[in-house]
């Protein structure tokens, strides 16, 4: 099993360009997430998808859109890249947490995409 696979690994964009970051998981997980990691700020949630067909905003959704293409794939799109979006982006997946119990479940991360916007 590959786990969570992200493409590309590196990308350089100019301000205003658009791009889509791809993520796929082969662990049969229901839930998927996009995080960004900036120096000294830990990981911040951009968007998440609790299950196929649903998406919701996280802490820092502005400037991003997502698509849950099917159970395996969850993509992140930057419509008009800005230098403030220079970051390392991590996709993650998890089993669906216990319904009604409020229990959380561990995240499994991909290897990340290092994005630079000039």
Partner 1 sequence: GENVEQHPSTLSVQEGDSAVIKCTYSDSASNYFPWYKQELGKRPQLIIDIRSNVGEKKDQRIAVTLNKTAKHFSLHITETQPEDSAVYFCAASLSGGYNKLIFGAGTRLAVHP
Among 42, 53, 62, 100, binds partner 1 (CB under 8 A): 42
**Quick check: 44 binds partner 1 (CB under 8 A)?**
yes
By CB under 8 A, name the one of 24, 25, 48, 66 that touches partner 1. Answer: 48
User: Under the criterion CB under 8 A, does residue 43 sit at the interface with partner 1?
Assistant: yes
Q: How far apart are the first and last CA of the chain?
A: 36
The site that binds partner 1 (CB under 8 A) totals a number of residues, namely 26
Q: Is residue 63 a contact point for partner 1 (CB under 8 A)? A: no
What burial class does residue 42 get, using C-beta atoms within 10 Å of its C-beta: 0-12 exposed, 13-18 middle, 19+ buried? exposed
Place of tokens 């900036």: 38
Closer by beta carbon to partner 1, 42 or else 53: 42
């Amino acid at each position: 099993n590959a786990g969570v696979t992200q493409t590309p690994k590196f990308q350089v964009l100019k301000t205003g360009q658009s791009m889509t970051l791809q993520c796929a998981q082969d662990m049969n997980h229901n839930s998927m997430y996009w995080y960004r990691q900036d120096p000294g700020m830990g990981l911040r949630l951009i968007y998440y998808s609790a299950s196929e067909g649903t998406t919701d905003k996280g802490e820092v959704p502005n400037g991003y859109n997502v698509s849950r293409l099917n159970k395996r794939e969850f993509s992140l799109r930057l419509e008009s890249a800005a230098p403030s979006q220079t970051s390392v982006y991590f996709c993650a997946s998890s089993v669906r947490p216990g319904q009604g119990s409020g229990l959380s479940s561990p995240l499994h991360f991909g290897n990340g995409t290092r994005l630079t916007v000039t």
